[in-house]
Amino acid sequence: MNEDGEARLAKAAMKSLLVSAPESLKADLKRRVRNRKPAPSIWEGRFAFGQSFWAYGAGGAFAAAAIGILILRAVPERRIATEAAKRPARRIEIVVPQTLQDLWADDDGEDNDEI
């Protein structure tokens, strides 16, 4: 049997079911369809979430995570500074080498009075 035949067979089966179904069931189904509310839009859903208790919880969790990240990032620097303060100064950088390198420019290498 091809697909067209299967579709027609399914349609006939549905018709026979509707005919054989009790009137009370049909009426109940119709009532439910009428009373069904339309699905809320995505914006209404977001506003509803913003006004709910869970929104406060999510905001709090986000803030706590941000503070935690800041603290975790600050801790290694503080640890290094503490260790550096304990041991005698070994390495002192006074001039950033990049600054010295900026003094130099590409040159033609010629030996003349031009500049």
Partner 1 sequence: MTRFKLAVFLALTSVPLQAKPRAPLPDAGALVLKALAGPSTGYAAVERVQVFLPGKKPKAIKVNITALPGRVRREVLPSKKKAAPLIQVRDREKAPAGLSRLRALYDLTVSTGGVVAKRKTWKIELRLKSGALRRALWMDRDSGLLMKRETYRDDGSLVRRERLVQLALPAPVDPASLKTEASSGPWMPDGFVFTGENGATRRYSNGLESYEIRLVDGKAAVSGDLAEDDASRILESASK
55's CB contacts (< 8 A; 6+ apart) are 49
Residues in contact with partner 1, shown as a per-residue x/- string from 13 to 32 under the rule CB under 8 A: --------------------
Q: How far is residue 69 from each of residues 13, 38, 57, measured CA to CA in Å? A: 63, 43, 18
87 interacts with partner 1 by CB under 8 A: no
Complex with partner 1: residue 85 or 94, whichever CB lies closer: 94
Q: Is 85 in the site for partner 1 (CB under 8 A)?
A: no
CB of 88 to partner 1, least distance (A): 10
Nearer Cβ to partner 1 (17/96)? 96
Q: What are phi and psi of 93, to 5 degrees?
A: -95, 115
- Pick 77 or 111: Cβ nearer partner 1: 111
Contact in structure between 40 and 48 (CB atoms under 8 Å):
yes
101 binds partner 1 (CB under 8 A): yes
Q: By CB under 8 A, is residue 114 in contact with partner 1? A: yes
Phi-psi region of 104 (alpha: psi -120 to 50; beta: other; left: phi over 0): beta
| Distance between CA atoms of residues 95 and 57, nearest Å | 50
Decide: is 99 part of the binding site for partner 1 (CB under 8 A): yes
Residues that bind partner 1 (CB under 8 A): 90-95, 97, 99-109, 111-115
